[in-house]
Structure 1
Amino acid sequence: MQRKRSLLPLIGMQSSFSAFGMLSLLTVCLSSAYAEVKCLNGQGSAAIVNDDISSAKMEATARARWAALEEAVGVEVRSQSVVENSALLDDMVTMQGKGTISSSKVLSEKRDQGMYHVTVNACIEPSKAAEAVASLALNNSVAVFLPARRPRVLQESESTARVSNSRKTAKASVTSQSVTEEQEESNILSDTLIEKLVEQGYTVTDIAPTGVLDAEEVDKAIKSGNFTAMRSLIGKYLSNLLLIGKVDYTVSQKKGEEIGYGIEAPFNRVTVRLTYRLLTRERDSGKLVIVGAGTSEAKGNAANLEDAAAKGMENLSTKVIPALLDKFARQIKGVSRKIAVKVDGLDAVEGTFDVKQVIGNAAWVSDVEATGLNEYRVSYPENSIYLANSLSRNPKLKLVEFSPYSIRLSYRK
């Protein structure tokens, strides 16, 4: 009996070790699957300027590498539309990617009528690639998804009924409706908000037409507080802010129903309610955090139920959009950073003034302060890669060095 008792713990330990081993193996397998490297082809092209083939090949190769990275992540907004300097993109892969592209090789290259074309095969770790691409997100870029539940009248009819009270019996007109409900992913509120955001200078992505998200997912995320499913949208659309929410409605009053003293309601009254969350991505952890939240409601009156709901949406838009715009503005102002800009090749006061003016005129620059001879501190709310890209487009300035918090240029008189 003693031996049997002494063997039981050993059997238990063996089972524990076996279970632990299987769990560890499963964890390793899952981690390996998540970190699986994808080898994809990418194509890039560049113009040959002054017969400089080597520079054109370098630029085309950089574009091809980035095209493969975008393919791995599934990004919708091509980086070339916001950053034209391919050398900056390649530098960012090196700085931000941290092993994003483990290896790459040129499969083919050719010169064709002033253009140089390169096809590469790049091996990429998608999770790291997503982080690299997400770092390109514009602070003034917002993705919007505000689906609305609304009534739709299938059939409406009127009939006459006798209505009695303690004093008399009278005839009354009774309206009956056959009503169904539907989700409108593009609606009065979302369309009006997007229009106002564009007027304010924001880069806006309307998620509704893409079909990557539905009202049910948004409802679950808001109720649970779990926004993991939304995280990929930040990188997919290069957006820094993501506004999600839902609009619901209740019929507060039906046309024709008695509202007291024998009086019938002359119209339908619909109350519409918005619940929303404004999300952004933490720079260090990559997690989505809530930077704004709220609810709002408004009423609409009309003879037709659908018209009443539409009127409620119009009133809700008038009420809530100014508050949303204010939250966007405060969020972008809060992430402004200081970037050191140095310009070589200046030897005259008028030259210094010209460059300072050029920097100040760049998009999103809020302040330029001279800190030394040909050195400036620039207040800028965006990723500094966009400032470097903007300044390098000027024919008088050539980009020499770039890092997240410093830019070095040479001045051409």
Structure 2
Amino acid sequence: MKKILIVMLFLLLPIFLVHSKTVTATGEANIVNGDVASAKFQAIARAKWAALEAAAGVQVKVETVIQNSQLVDEAIKNEVKGVVDKYKIIDEGKDGDVYWVKISADVSPAEAAKAVSIFAKNTSVAVYIPVIFPDRNVDETTALSEKVINELSSQGLDVVDVASLGTKYSLTEIENALRTNNFGAFRNVAYQFLSGAILIGKVDTTLSAQQGKNIGYGVSLPFNVVTGRLTYRLIGDKDGKKVIVASGYVSGRGQGPTPEDATHNMLENLASNVSNELISTVVENIKGQNKKTIEVVLAGNTNLNNLLELKNDLQYISWVLNVTDKGVDKVLVEYPEKSIYLANAIKNLNKYELKTFDKYRIVIEKIR
């Protein structure tokens, strides 16, 4: 029996190894009031998170979108548990008032991607809309995709142009994703760039009328006509899972001396229709799907004037949809983004000190 068990464990060992990868990462923290032990503890936590980001293949680091280490530390302290399987310190030291560590850690890439998703911005969208020409050639960057990206950006969204990243997807992968609603490969791109939403689609084109065709009475068609149909899916988060929150199609036609020219003209026409229909669908779904109410509490010796000032400050923060009073020391904020981003925006006003925050509540105090 023992021999059988040993053989089974030996056979399963490669499976466990596949699910984990060893990465090297560094972390650092300020030494406050000579407390080296606390600085080392914080530096290790940050090194673990850096290892987690590396394993997930993250391209946009958390500290580039949240410039407040207190917020990041508070958010990640529970996420590294169970994701970093084991680690060891391979180097450490002091550099002035900074303590740093270098670790080697075993991390599960799949679990790392899930952990990183806590920072995925609801108002960031990864866009990929290739066009399949009549000759079956695929173009990933067209007038249509540029129009969509520019329009979404103008609405205040952070947009990731998947086509510009250099990752190539085959026509089969694209068609299978749209047919089966399995967007695993594109979901990984969203994780890497902290995007909470994915807009994926494809434009199928048909040479519906060819130049020289007899159209009656001895008259030949002087140009080619191409018909295009954009099919799209908007993928968002719901209960921690990626789900389809909107889908649809938009059609267009174009004509030109060659099928290629007719296709490009069709895309120009399609881009106009898309700006009216697709963009509004994306923006409204992102607002509606993710909208929630966050309670912002003004602690300390507050008064009506301070509360009115806070209310006014909040109304000028990007993506704040509405602010209403709730008593003499708190307001309710309608916000489609994660609370950590609202807390970060409030902190960046340099008027309030952050006390605590969670998913639905932020406690601050006005700086005297």
> Which TM-score band applies after superposition, normalised by the shorter structure?
0.7 to 0.9
Tell me which amino acid in the other structure corresponds to 1:138. K
Match of 1:404 among 342, 348, 359: 359
- Structure 2 Cα separation of the partners of residues 347 and 93 of structure 1: 31
Match of 2:201 among 220, 242, 245: 245
Deviations 1:95-152 (A, max 9, x none): 445533355555323326x76654344443333221121121111111111111225x
Report the equivalent of 1:313: 267
Change in Cα spacing, 1:27 to 1:121, as seen in structure 2 (3 Å) is closer
**Contact 1:46–1:116, Cα closer than 8 Å, also in 2:** yes
The SS at the match of 1:263 is coil
Deviations 1:308-341 (A, max 9, x none): 1111111111112321112212212222111122
Report the equivalent of 1:108: 92
**Contact 1:346–1:374, Cα closer than 8 Å, also in 2:** no
Report the equivalent of 2:323: 368
Report the equivalent of 1:149: 132
**Contact 1:251–1:269, Cα closer than 8 Å, also in 2:** yes
Report the equivalent of 2:255: 301
Q: Which of 1 and 2 has greater Rg?
A: 1
Report the equivalent of 1:42: 25
- Structure 1 Cα separation of the partners of residues 11 and 200 of structure 2: 33
1:65 counterpart = 2:38? no
In the TM superposition, residue 37 of structure 1 has moved relative to its aligned partner by 4.2
Report the equivalent of 1:234: 190
The SS at the match of 1:300 is strand
Tell me which amino acid in the other structure corresponds to 2:200. I
In the TM superposition, residue 371 of structure 1 has moved relative to its aligned partner by 1.4
Change in Cα spacing, 1:53 to 1:349, as seen in structure 2 (3 Å) is farther
In the TM superposition, residue 25 of structure 1 has moved relative to its aligned partner by 7.5
- Relative to its length, the structure with more strand (as a share) is 1
Percent of paired sites with the same residue:
36
Change in Cα spacing, 1:90 to 1:115, as seen in structure 2 (3 Å) is closer
1:282 counterpart = 2:238? yes
- Structure 2 Cα separation of the partners of residues 302 and 210 of structure 1: 31
Match of 1:195 among 127, 150, 170: 150
TM-score, structure 2 as length reference = 0.86
- Structure 2 Cα separation of the partners of residues 359 and 224 of structure 1: 42
Tell me which amino acid in the other structure corresponds to 2:204. D
Tell me which amino acid in the other structure corresponds to 2:94. K
In the TM superposition, residue 230 of structure 1 has moved relative to its aligned partner by 3.1
Deviations 1:55-109 (A, max 9, x none): 8767655543322211011112111121112232222223445533355555323
**Contact 2:304–2:328, Cα closer than 8 Å, also in 1:** no
**Contact 1:342–1:374, Cα closer than 8 Å, also in 2:** yes
Tell me which amino acid in the other structure corresponds to 1:231. R
- Structure 1 Cα separation of the partners of residues 41 and 26 of structure 2: 13
Superposition CA RMSD, Å: 3.0
Deviations 1:196-217 (A, max 9, x none): 1111111000111223341331
- Structure 2 Cα separation of the partners of residues 299 and 70 of structure 1: 44
Tell me which amino acid in the other structure corresponds to 1:144. V
- Structure 2 Cα separation of the partners of residues 295 and 27 of structure 1: 49
TM-score, structure 1 as length reference = 0.77
1:182 counterpart = 2:166? no
- Structure 1 Cα separation of the partners of residues 11 and 180 of structure 2: 26
Change in Cα spacing, 1:241 to 1:46, as seen in structure 2 (3 Å) is same
Match of 2:284 among 330, 338, 341: 330
Tell me which amino acid in the other structure corresponds to 1:388. A
- Structure 1 Cα separation of the partners of residues 33 and 13 of structure 2: 52
1:389 counterpart = 2:344? yes
In the TM superposition, residue 239 of structure 1 has moved relative to its aligned partner by 1.3
The count of aligned residue pairs is: 360
Consecutive unaligned residues of structure 2, counting only runs of 5 or more, are none
- Structure 2 Cα separation of the partners of residues 102 and 295 of structure 1: 45
- Structure 1 Cα separation of the partners of residues 45 and 344 of structure 2: 15
In the TM superposition, residue 411 of structure 1 has moved relative to its aligned partner by 1.5
Report the equivalent of 2:71: 88
Change in Cα spacing, 1:57 to 1:360, as seen in structure 2 (3 Å) is farther
Report the equivalent of 2:59: 76
Tell me which amino acid in the other structure corresponds to 1:247. V
- Structure 1 Cα separation of the partners of residues 213 and 10 of structure 2: 63
**Contact 2:206–2:227, Cα closer than 8 Å, also in 1:** yes
In the TM superposition, residue 358 of structure 1 has moved relative to its aligned partner by 2.2
- Structure 1 Cα separation of the partners of residues 102 and 10 of structure 2: 37
Report the equivalent of 1:176: none
In the TM superposition, residue 190 of structure 1 has moved relative to its aligned partner by 0.7
- Structure 1 Cα separation of the partners of residues 30 and 49 of structure 2: 17
Which 10-residue stretch deviates more, 231-240 or 59-68? 59-68
**Contact 1:62–1:87, Cα closer than 8 Å, also in 2:** no
Change in Cα spacing, 1:28 to 1:185, as seen in structure 2 (3 Å) is same
Deviations 1:248-291 (A, max 9, x none): 2111222222111101111111112212211123333x2x3211
Which 10-residue stretch deviates more, 401-410 or 341-350? 341-350
- Structure 1 Cα separation of the partners of residues 335 and 38 of structure 2: 30
Consecutive unaligned residues of structure 1, counting only runs of 5 or more, are 1-17, 152-179
**Contact 2:128–2:163, Cα closer than 8 Å, also in 1:** yes
